[in-house]
Chain A
Amino acid sequence: MAEAVLRITQNLFVTFFEWFGELGLFCVRVAKATFRGPWEIREFIRQLDAVGSKSGPLVALAGAATGVVLSLQTHDSLAKFGAKALLPSVIVFSLIKESGPVITALIVSGRVGAGIGAELGSMRVTEQIDAMEVSAVNPYKFLASTRVLACILMLPLLTLIADASGVLMGWVSTTLSDPISLKLFLHTGLKDASMSDFLPPTFKTMFFGLIIGMIACFQGMRTRGGTAGVGRSATSSVVLSSLFVIVADVILVRLIQVFFPS
């Protein structure tokens, strides 16, 4: 019995470290491919569209919902303490510093991560990636680096969309109970905000993009086992990239506090 438990634990450890080792090698290959020409400009633009413009509406909707919920949840609490005037600041700060970036990353992880995992997984099991290698084309460059770069570049832009729609809908929700002009709402919300409150949290999403792109491409390109394997890759891409985004967020928030104190 104890022997079996030991063996299972050993296997789990080996699998865990193997996965990290393979991911490390994959990242090195993608990095090498990224910085070495010729560039796959057309595929990169296609990926910017797939990751960015096609995620825009969903991210805007999620940001808007977050803005409304923040307004609804904090309105009563602040009213109890006689601090209703702080509501615009609470909404703006919550959105730009944390909710906007994290919500955007999780939405992209779900939509784009699953898409990349399934697409590359399907290409793997139908030998399309092998066909690419046989044509002397580096799949780490054509498939992985274009997608990873697109995720890195588009995440901050999508975060801006989430922030803007969240603030806008936060104002709509607030003004329905306590009428306030948009100008005054924005003025009150932004008066204590500085660039260091806005830029580091927005740009930290580039790391989230890196995580989502790398993990989704990695899981997709190592797919085994036919259509069932493709399903597993899509699911694991979402689960793992969301998990790593949350863990990375903890570290990045602390780093931002250290390097960009308010």
Chain B
Amino acid sequence: MKDSPLRITGLHKSFGSQKVLNGVDLSAAAGETVVVLGRSGTGKSVLLKLIVGLLKPDAGSLKVHGQEIVGLEMDGLNEIRKKIGFLFQQAALYDSLSVEENVAFPLERHSRISDAERHEKVRSLLASVGMERDLAKMPSDISGGMQKRVGLARALALDPDILLFDEPTAGLDPITASEIGELIVKLKKERNLASIVVTHDVHGAKSFADRVVMLREGKVVIDGTFSDMEKSRDPFVVEFLKDAA
């Protein structure tokens, strides 16, 4: 049986009277890319924010490498966060810092390496996402696709073993979206990462998903391979795939 760096059991989250997640179970093994699909507002991004402790669940268990993170104090949570990379929907680059400084930001604070080693690591991270020529540029001077690449390099800076993607291809042209998809596959192979990708992009998901989880009204309606999903007779799944076609 494969390792599961991430295991979620019975996760519940509400905002006021609105129930967003209603008992979600999910796991991701090392080297596995799990794609989470669902309509807008079904709690996909909330799920990612719960995993990194930006939000607290109402109930349920969230284990990273077997350690429960629900109720963890800030110091303990920060240790867990170092093992998790997060690519935000709009990349969330620090706009007062250059591309190089953005990627160096977590390294400067959490790794005990010399300036020269850090500089080399930043270059190599940016090279791995095809951005090694834009070290000195500011985030405002690069395109949305390039920002996502830099965001990905920053997410990889602390050598995480879990990587979370929030709509990695949203707002990108089909070619750039496909390049980001290829990067996800490449990183999975090179780094043996457990990845969770939240997306609306069914076609893109087909190229990088090992497993697909579909959410509906805060519950998992399907958890299987892409072909399992395509064979499903669940009316919601059928309609979702039809609309995405």
* A residues apposed to B, CB below 8 Å: 38, 122-123, 126-128, 130-138
Contacts and interface: CB of A to CB of B under 8 A. Distances in A.
Contact of A133 (B54, B89, B93, B158): B54
Interface in B100-116: 105-106, 109-110
A128 B94 contact: yes
Contacts of A132: 94
Interface residues of B, number: 24
Interface in B111-163: 154, 158
14 contacts: A130-B49, A134-B52, A134-B54, A134-B81, A134-B84, A135-B81, A135-B106, A135-B158, A136-B78, A136-B81, A136-B82, A136-B106, A136-B110, A137-B105
Nearest to B151: A131
A238 B53 CA distance: 32
B95 interface: yes
Contacts of A130: 49, 54, 88, 92
Nearest to B109: A137
Q: Which 6 residue pairs are nearest across A and B when measured between Cβ atoms?
A: A136-B78, A131-B92, A127-B92, A135-B106, A136-B81, A134-B86
A128 B79 CA distance: 20
B14 interface: no
Nearest to A122: B95
B90 interface: yes
Contact of A136 (B79, B88, B89): B79
A23 to B, nearest CB: 20
B94 A131 contact: yes
Contacts of B95: 122-123, 126, 128
Nearest to B164: A134
Contacts of B82: 136
Contacts of A131: 86, 88, 92-94, 154
A136 B89 CA distance: 19
B88 A127 contact: yes
Given A123-B94, A126-B92, 4 more contacts: A127-B92, A130-B92, A132-B94, A138-B74
A240 B195 CA distance: 44
A43 to B, nearest CB: 9
Contacts of A127: 88-90, 92
Contacts of B79: 136
B179 to A, nearest CB: 22
Contacts of B158: 135
Contacts of A135: 81, 105-106, 109-110, 154, 158
